[in-house]
Structure 1
Amino acid sequence: MREPVTGSVIPSDLYGFAERLTPAERAVITELRGVLTERVHPHLNAAWDEARFPEEIIAPLRELHLMDPPALREAGEGVREIFLGFRNFELTRCDINVATYYNAQASLFRTVCTMGGSAEQARELDAKIASYELTGVFGLTEPEHGSDVAGGLATAATQDPETGDWTIDGAKRWIGGATAADVVATFARDTADGQVKCFLVPTHAPGVTMEVIARKASLRIMQNAEITYQGVRVPDSARLQRINSFSDVAGCLRRMRSDVAWMATGAMAGAYEAALAYVARREQFGRPIAGFQLIQEKLALMLGNLTAALGMVVQLTEQQAAGIYRDEDSALAKMYTALRLRETVALAREVCGGNGITLDTDVARFHADAEAIYSYEGTHEINALIVGRAVTGVGAFT
């Protein structure tokens, strides 16, 4: 079969958006793709089927040092936002679970520590996070509060006026990777002033209990936990000093939503490429189904969704790199790319026919896991309301 027309380092990047990467950045992305193909992908379908996390993929990902790639340092280059975007794209192009696992440390936890910590905390924590000396996850969502967590967050933190220590009581839910992490960046409401604060709570601290959420139909590889805090004591040094209200939390979320938009875009590429490979080898009525008009129309729609999404996230990233961060920008990108992802994985499943509901083509995995991206880091509806408020000047959340 003829190779897709593209001059990009990314096979399905029809318009060549990845040409914005430097040669050193492209080399890192290419190396990442090779590791994902050879050392990560072979473990995914069995792990997904068994709803377990494959420990075999941890070392290959850590050995790449993707948070501070040696190849970029050797080239005299810093780690640019556009590189981080394509890093997320490539991870998710392989698998949504893999990207979610990686970003629990490299995006969510790292962002809250660097943005939420004091200058001294951020400096010390960032080095430990990049080297995996310290592993952590982001604990915001609660059993009874997801979309309304800004006003409804119920986990409470009370400071002892004599010792300065804090006591935390409450619960968190859907916290990915918590059972394997050293600490949970736990958001709790200060009982004294009613403001949201953030604490690095050790996962083995007395009073912390965790249970892995079972029977999931999406994101089955990722181990999401429900966490209960009962009289958990932490010193004041465990509090991130620059998280003093939910508006500070929102500043972190504003940055992280763009990561999720990149992940949705990468997942489109993974599903599209898996479907393209399948139709090239699948024959019906005596010839490959890649030559059927209805199949080609679906492939064109998938590629159109992917290309539009890439254009959106690249522009958003370049805008943010220039220092422009607006809630409505990241919310629009997350909302749109997640919606188009849903359509793209459905089309990919369609062109694979009955075989598209098995794990063998990879399409079924993307199809199911897309539902998680559609819901996390702000549902479609919440992100739409953020955009709606910006364009009309009227909030419609309640």
Structure 2
Amino acid sequence: MTDQLTAELARDIGKARGTDYFVMKDQLSEDELDLLYTTRTFGEAEIQPVINDYWERGEFPFEIIPKMAELNLIGDWNLRDFGCRPMTAVGSGLIVAELARNDTSIQTFWGVHMGLAMQSINMLGSEEQRAHYLPQMARLEKIGAFALTEPNHGSDSVSLETTAERQGGEWVINGLKRWPGNAVWCDYIIVFARDVDDKQVKGFIVERDNPGYSATKIERKVSLRCVQNADIVLKDCRVSEEARLQKCRSFMDVAKVLAGTRNGVAWAAVGNATAAYDIALTYAERRVQFGKPIASNQMIQRILVEMLGDLTAMQLYVLRLGRLIDEGKMTDTQASLAKYYCTVKARDVCRKARDVLGGNGITLDFHVMRHLCDMEALITYEGTVEIQSLIIGRHLTGHSAFV
């Protein structure tokens, strides 16, 4: 019975049926719908059939990168030049959600490359830097990474200890970084370090084969297993002045990049919740116990309704947030609230889906446990839920509770 059920699920899940309860697709433009269905088709055909095996091995499916490049999905509301595809914030969010609906590791690869590395160059780089790096990255010929977090500085990354010292026409970088995705195999990594002269944070484009840069894959993860996160050592790593991001003069400039990524994390949470609800509904209709589908059970129906209610609320959150970005009206605290709410609720939806599946819920065959494990990372990165609550609470009350 389990083998038959698994086969039926493999055929039916991923269709996102019944997950747009308030018909939000009617609020999307033709181009946004094209991005949605292009990414959905790609995910169902290229990611979903293979991802469990890669996730279990902790390896990245590099063969999908050229296939992604063919889709022309690299772009954002403010990343429109140098070969990037013009799109709304909602359009880029739909890409994130659809990638995460199939696997958050693949979405994280895309988000780190486009949302962090390329956006750092786009927002903080000179025109010459943008013209040199962005076209090749838009074609996915060169892959980017982003190094801010350190072993001793996560939530308080403003206190980073990595240093950069100007020596003539070069900068010498020393320090440690932890957790950057793509960092083991990327071509370029954006490294943030504190200028020993003026004590301000500066950004640098470091090439992977640069002497003094080394990255070691972090092993034994149970979340985002396909992402090649790294421990990075920068030992007398020399880069030219031309590799310094010319518009990065303080941590406040770095924060501008990070504010945009919180929007993306909220969309990724929606993708995971969509997958979990879809799987739970499909399973409940197929799984027969005591002579009838468990979907006919009152408790199961209530759980499904709770899941759909949370998913629909998350969808409304991100759709409105995207429109605020497109209108130039989004505030940092609005992004924080969306990140906070969507990641918390998406984790709850994934937990409930695992309950609906019973013992089968812990196996990769049914996908839910992978989404639940990956949600533990989304809860944490780009600002933990605790930090987001402090940011929002400070705005609401006028009192800072950070210390």
TM-score higher than 0.5 here?
Answer: yes
Q: What amino acid is aligned across from residue 92 of structure 2 in structure 1?
A: L
Identity of aligned residues (%): 40
Cα separation, partners in 2 of 1:185 and 1:239, compared to 1, 3 Å: same
Work out whether residues 177 and 232 of structure 2, in 8 Å CA contact, stay in contact via their aligned partners in 1.
Answer: yes
Matches within 5 A, 1:42-61: 42-61=49-68
Structure 1 distance, partners of 2:170, 2:149, is 24
Match of 2:74 among 42, 67, 72: 67
Find the counterpart in structure 2 of residue 104 from structure 1: 112
Shift of 1:23: 2.5
Q: What amino acid is aligned across from residue 274 of structure 1 in structure 2?
A: I
Shift of 1:134: 2.7
Cα separation, partners in 2 of 1:140 and 1:68, compared to 1, 3 Å: closer
Work out whether residues 9 and 30 of structure 1, in 8 Å CA contact, stay in contact via their aligned partners in 2.
Answer: no
Q: What amino acid is aligned across from residue 42 of structure 2 in structure 1?
A: V
Work out whether residues 183 and 202 of structure 1, in 8 Å CA contact, stay in contact via their aligned partners in 2.
Answer: yes
Work out whether residues 180 and 229 of structure 2, in 8 Å CA contact, stay in contact via their aligned partners in 1.
Answer: yes
Q: Does 1:34 align with 2:46?
A: no
Provide Cα deviations, 1:15-56, integer angstroms capped at 9, x if missing partner. Answer: 122322222431332122112111111111111111111223
Find the counterpart in structure 2 of residue 144 from structure 1: 152
Q: What amino acid is aligned across from residue 124 of structure 2 in structure 1?
A: G
Match of 1:127 among 135, 149, 162: 135
Find the counterpart in structure 2 of residue 83 from structure 1: 91
Shift of 1:245: 0.3
Find the counterpart in structure 1 of residue 12 from structure 2: none
Provide Cα deviations, 1:79-109, integer angstroms capped at 9, x if missing partner. Answer: 1111111111111111111111111112111
Structure 2 distance, partners of 1:65, 1:37, is 17
Aligned residue for 1:356, secondary structure, equals helix
Q: What amino acid is aligned across from residue 106 of structure 1 in structure 2?
A: M
Find the counterpart in structure 2 of residue 272 from structure 1: 277
Work out whether residues 10 and 18 of structure 1, in 8 Å CA contact, stay in contact via their aligned partners in 2.
Answer: no
Find the counterpart in structure 1 of residue 204 from structure 2: 199
Structure 1 distance, partners of 2:361, 2:268, is 22
Q: Does 1:208 align with 2:213?
A: yes
Provide Cα deviations, 1:365-392, integer angstroms capped at 9, x if missing partner. Answer: 1111110000000001111111011111
Aligned residue for 1:42, secondary structure, equals coil
Which piece of structure 1 moves more, 222-231 or 319-328? 319-328
Find the counterpart in structure 1 of residue 249 from structure 2: 244
Shift of 1:9: 8.9
Shift of 1:230: 0.2
Cα separation, partners in 2 of 1:41 and 1:9, compared to 1, 3 Å: closer
Provide Cα deviations, 1:215-238, integer angstroms capped at 9, x if missing partner. Answer: 111111111101000000000000
Match of 2:382 among 377, 380, 386: 377
Shift of 1:164: 2.0
Structure 2 distance, partners of 1:22, 1:209, is 44
Find the counterpart in structure 1 of residue 100 from structure 2: 92
Q: What amino acid is aligned across from residue 192 of structure 2 in structure 1?
A: F
Cα separation, partners in 2 of 1:388 and 1:192, compared to 1, 3 Å: same
Q: Does 1:352 align with 2:354?
A: no
Structure 1 distance, partners of 2:235, 2:160, is 16
Work out whether residues 95 and 270 of structure 1, in 8 Å CA contact, stay in contact via their aligned partners in 2.
Answer: no
Cα separation, partners in 2 of 1:327 and 1:31, compared to 1, 3 Å: closer
Shift of 1:78: 3.9
Which piece of structure 1 moves more, 47-56 or 198-207? 47-56
Structure 1 distance, partners of 2:35, 2:386, is 36
Q: Does 1:390 align with 2:398?
A: no
Aligned residue for 1:179, secondary structure, equals coil
Q: What amino acid is aligned across from residue 128 of structure 1 in structure 2?
A: Q
Structure 1 distance, partners of 2:138, 2:96, is 16
Structure 1 distance, partners of 2:342, 2:216, is 31
Find the counterpart in structure 1 of residue 4 from structure 2: none
Structure 2 distance, partners of 1:268, 1:9, is 11
Cα separation, partners in 2 of 1:259 and 1:114, compared to 1, 3 Å: same
Find the counterpart in structure 1 of residue 165 from structure 2: 158
Structure 2 distance, partners of 1:12, 1:119, is 42
Relative to the length of structure 1, the TM-score reads 0.93
Which piece of structure 1 moves more, 130-139 or 240-249? 130-139
Shift of 1:57: 2.3
Provide Cα deviations, 1:180-226, integer angstroms capped at 9, x if missing partner. Answer: 21111000000000000000011111111111001111111111101
Matches within 5 A, 1:249-268: 249-268=254-273
**Structure 1 alignment gaps of length 5 or more:** 2-7
Q: What amino acid is aligned across from residue 52 of structure 1 in structure 2?
A: E
Cα separation, partners in 2 of 1:220 and 1:95, compared to 1, 3 Å: same
Q: What amino acid is aligned across from residue 377 of structure 2 in structure 1?
A: A
Q: Does 1:169 align with 2:174?
A: yes
Aligned residue for 2:155, secondary structure, equals coil
Provide Cα deviations, 1:236-278, integer angstroms capped at 9, x if missing partner. Answer: 0001111110111111111111011111111110111111121
Work out whether residues 143 and 187 of structure 2, in 8 Å CA contact, stay in contact via their aligned partners in 1.
Answer: yes
Aligned residue for 1:176, secondary structure, equals coil
Structure 1 distance, partners of 2:125, 2:317, is 30
Q: What amino acid is aligned across from residue 54 of structure 1 in structure 2?
A: P
Q: Does 1:15 align with 2:16?
A: no
Structure 2 distance, partners of 1:141, 1:371, is 18
The count of corresponding residues between Structure 1 and Structure 2 is 384
Provide Cα deviations, 1:145-204, integer angstroms capped at 9, x if missing partner. Answer: 000111x201000001xx220000001101111112111100000000000000001111
Structure 2 distance, partners of 1:25, 1:321, is 13
Work out whether residues 66 and 140 of structure 2, in 8 Å CA contact, stay in contact via their aligned partners in 1.
Answer: no
Structure 2 distance, partners of 1:108, 1:134, is 14
Shift of 1:348: 0.4
Shift of 1:59: 2.4
Match of 1:233 among 208, 219, 238: 238
